[in-house]
Amino acid sequence: MAELMANLGYHRYGTQGGDLGAYVAPRVAAVAPEQVVGVHIDGGFGFPTAADVPEMSAAERAEWEQMQQWMSGGVDHHALLRAAPQTFSYAWNDSPVGLLAWMMQKFKEFTMTVPTPEQAIDRDHLLTNVSLYWFTGTSGTSSWPMYERLTVADDGGFAWPTGQRRVPSGVYGGGSALMRRLAERDNTIVHWPQGNPGSHFVAMDEPLAHAADIRAFFKGLR
């Protein structure tokens, strides 16, 4: 990405990402700190892992337990796709109904602010998203980063995005004092808003608020 931006003639720019993009955005800053003015992600900086538990206070451990209940409530697609993404891809590429069912299950799980995904994201928008995978035949290859263990920690568990201190960072959804403490361990946090609306797919269900927060972050870096 850094080489692409240089070849396109952009010598100063910011990076922004959500979901897997939240892993890529700080890595671009780490390899090209003289070019990247700042890193903005939707969420992921500061989420605790099992390795953080021994240093937690009683209140933080209670928060950790609540997080575990939410994270274990759905289908662990990370484990499934780390094990056999190609096995699933044959079914996805064979049946548009199968692909739609898989995608909508994930949309339902991660648009947790509403009972059904289409209450947060326009139905045509959802269908367009799924159609991009169907017509290009890329539902299988889109899962390869999981198989290549992009999101796996050294101990084999789930890993959140790796931080960097070379350039300032900000998030769309800040989170608790525990999350901020952990985020500041590996990042220079300058933007940590509270109360921003939306769910995991915030760029789809709250596009105006999302864009406004990105502008606010980068405006503060001028």
Q: Are 15 and 29 in contact (CB under 8 A)?
A: yes
CATH number for the domain spanning 20: value is 3.40.50.1820
**Between 169 and 160, whose confidence is greater?**
169
What are residue 41's DSSP bridge partners?
17, 171
The number of CA neighbours under 13 Å toward the Cβ of 126 is 20
Is residue 121 domain-shared with residue 175, that is, in the same domain? no
pLDDT of residue 140: 86
Which of 28, 69, 23 has the alpha carbon at shortest distance from 42?
23
Task: Report whether pLDDT(39) > 60.
Answer: yes
Nearest-angstrom CA–CA distance, 120 and 214:
20
Per the structure block, which two tokens stand in for 7? Answer: 């070849």
The C-alpha atoms of residue 114 and residue 112 are separated, in whole angstroms, by 6
Lowest-confidence segment of 35-39, 48-52, 126-130 by average pLDDT: 48-52
Neighbours of 169 (CB within 10 A): 28
The answer to whether residues 75 and 139 belong to one domain is yes
Same domain, 93 and 136: yes
| Per-residue pLDDT tens digits for 50-88 | 888 999 999 999 998 888 776 656 677 777 887 888 888
From residue 59, give the alpha-carbon distance in Å to each of 4, 49, 63, 182.
Answer: 45, 16, 6, 15
Examine residue 62 and state whether it is found in any structural domain, yes or no: no
The reported pLDDT for the residue numbered 4 is 96
Say how many domains are in the chain: 2
Could you tell me the CA-to-CA distances from 101 to 16, 93, 108, 174, 219 in Å, in that order? 29, 13, 10, 31, 40
DSSP state of 175: -
pTM above 0.85, yes or no: yes
Q: Which own/partner contact pairs does 8-14 have at CB distance under 8 Å and 24+ positions apart?
A: 10/35, 11/35, 12/37, 13/37, 14/38, 14/39, 14/40, 14/218, 14/221
**Domain-embedded: residue 154:** no
Contact 214, 196 (CB under 8 A): no
Most confident option among 30-34, 84-88, 102-106: 30-34
Residue 40 lies in a domain: yes
Give a yes or no: residue 58 inside a domain: no
**Domain of residue 41, residue span:** 2-47+160-219
